[in-house]
Amino acid sequence: MNLLTITATTNTARTGQLNLPHGPVETPVFMPVGTVGAMKAINHEQIEEIGYKLILGNTYHLYLRPGLEQLKAEGGLHKFSTWQGNFLTDSGGFQFFSLAPFRKFTADGVKFRSHLDGSYHFFSPELAIQAQQIIGSDIMMQLDVCTPPDAGEKKALDGLIKTTAWAKRCKTEWLKGREAGHQGALFGIAQGNFYKDLRKRSAAELAELDLPGYAIGGLSVGETKAQFADFLAFQTPLLPYDKPKYVMGIGTPDYILEAIELGIDMFDCVYPTRVARNGSVMTKDGLLALKGERFKGDHNPIEEGCSCTACRRYSRSYLRHLVKAGEINALTLLTEHNLTFMYRFIAECRQAIKEGSFANYKAEFLTRYYRD
Distances (CA, A) of 244 to 18, 83, 110, 188, 274: 8, 23, 27, 11, 27
From the list 265, 268, 285, 298, the catalytic residue is 268
* Nearest-angstrom CA–CA distance, 343 and 323: 23
Q: Which of 90, 138, 144, 265 is catalytic?
A: 90
DSSP 8-state class, residue 66 = I
Other beta carbons within 10 Å of 211: 23
CA–CA distance, 238 with 204 (Å, rounded to integer): 7
- CA-only gyration radius of the chain, Å: 20
Q: H-type helices in the chain, by residue range?
A: 44-50, 59-62, 68-73, 77-81, 93-98, 125-135, 153-179, 196-207, 225-235, 253-261, 271-277, 309-313, 316-325, 328-355, 358-369
Cα dihedral: 261, 265, 270, 275 (round 10)? 40
As a whole number of angstroms, the distance between CA 92 and CA 98 comes to 10
Q: What is the DSSP letter of 48?
A: H
The number of angstroms, rounded, from the C-alpha of 71 to the middle of its chain's C-alpha atoms is: 22
Q: How far apart are CA 252 and CA 320, in angstroms?
A: 23
Pair 63, 115: CB distance under 8 Å: no
Q: Is 372 a catalytic residue?
A: no
CB atoms near residue 286 (< 10 Å)? 14
Pairing mode, strands 286-289 and 54-58: unpaired
Is 268 an active-site residue?
A: yes
Residues annotated catalytic, as ranges:
90, 268
